[in-house]
Amino acid sequence: MFDRGVPFTKMNGCGNDFIVVDNRDGLLNEVALSAFVQNVCRRGTSIGADGFMLLENSSIADFKMRYFNADGSEGEMCGNGARCMSRFAYHIGAAKTKMSFETMAGIYQAELNQNGVKVKFPDVQLQALKLNQPYEWDGPSGVYHYGVVGVPHTVWFVKNVFAIADDQLREWGRMVRNDQQQFPNGTNVNFVELIDRQTLRIRTYERGVEAETYACGSGSTAAAIIAGILGHVDTSVNLLTRGGPLQISYHLTDDAAESVYLEGNSKLVAEGHLLPDAWTTNKTQDDIFKGLEWGEINERSNHS
């Protein structure tokens, strides 16, 4: 079907951008994915993205979502990525408007609507959250809150979050993300400003991207749940990110945040083919493709 190259779609959710590939026919099964992802996610010299996703077959859901950070590490899931993957699945006929999909963090459900894509998260157990944790540093708050909402997140409540200088936020985010004593597996770092009972502003330094992104869906969800547990906001909240608004809603019980939904936009930006210069570096192409010849990639594409 394809003359050459690796077919891809470029997408973004609130400015959090991704390269998405349909891998149901195993097109990239022989590829050393970590190096491949690092190279194609480079901005300036390749397509560039915050993350890379594969849509694959699943025996327990409509499809499987595999998510990779820009540094080549495979992540458990990604909230904004989940919305983009859901729209991509519908776009290529892998799912209908209502769907379920498999991730390393569990099974998620999603629904396309006129406002974008609405993703349902698994319940968040309250006993697993760590609230009001003291932290000695020169950052904007001496207390953080921690929880795993798909991936690990810290939440720091601050004032005038959009006024924080970019380099300052990167410095704080990098410091916390790399604190191996407190966070041996790393963590995403969310700086959150309380506006009113229905509104939060948020900026996120993302683990794996190793930079601030325009938005983080799972981080916004974690912030909304933690702010609600602490009594700062209602259980239906608008999150104002640098890339646009997200809506989070949930129901609190004594044990968990249930019926957790994340809703926001999902944009199909471009479609095309990744060519060898997109993934090659000064090293040989064989370092990534383990000796797989370009002609074999063409042949695999032709049968996809």
Q: Are 218 and 78 in contact (CB under 8 A)?
A: yes
For residues 135 and 257, membership in a common domain is answered with yes
Residue 295 belongs to some domain of the structure: yes
Domains held by the chain: number: 2
The predicted pLDDT at position 114 comes to 87
Q: What is the pTM of this model?
A: 0.85
Residue 221 belongs to some domain of the structure: yes
Residue 146 belongs to some domain of the structure: yes
Residue 86 belongs to some domain of the structure: yes
Which class for 281: exposed (0-12), middle (13-18), buried (19 or more C-beta within 10 A)?
middle
Residue 78 a catalytic site member: yes
For residues 277 and 190, membership in a common domain is answered with no
For residues 153 and 260, membership in a common domain is answered with yes
pLDDT, average across residues 241-253: 96
For residues 139 and 253, membership in a common domain is answered with yes
The predicted pLDDT at position 73 comes to 93
Residue 272 belongs to some domain of the structure: yes
What single letter denotes the amino acid at residue 68?
Answer: F
CATH for 184: 3.10.310.10
Residue 119 belongs to some domain of the structure: no
pLDDT, average across residues 235-252: 96
Query: What are the pLDDT digits (tens) for 45-87?
Result: 999 999 999 999 999 999 999 999 999 999 999 999 999 999 9
Residue 117 belongs to some domain of the structure: no
Question: Does 301 have pLDDT greater than 90?
Answer: no
For residues 150 and 38, membership in a common domain is answered with no
Q: Are 145 and 139 in contact (CB under 8 A)?
A: no
Residue 30 belongs to what domain range? 6-112+267-302
Residue 41 a catalytic site member: no
Q: Are 246 and 239 in contact (CB under 8 A)?
A: yes
For residues 260 and 271, membership in a common domain is answered with no
For residues 191 and 224, membership in a common domain is answered with yes
Residue 118 belongs to some domain of the structure: no
For residues 260 and 128, membership in a common domain is answered with yes
For residues 253 and 280, membership in a common domain is answered with no
Grade residue 160 by pLDDT with cuts at 50, 70 and 90: very high
For residues 128 and 259, membership in a common domain is answered with yes
Mean pLDDT of the chain: 91
For residues 152 and 210, membership in a common domain is answered with yes
The predicted pLDDT at position 4 comes to 73
Q: Are 185 and 201 in contact (CB under 8 A)?
A: no
Rounded to an integer, what distance in angstroms lies between the CA atom of residue 258 and that of residue 235? 11
- How many residues in the chain? 304
The DSSP letter of residue 291 is: T
For residues 234 and 281, membership in a common domain is answered with no
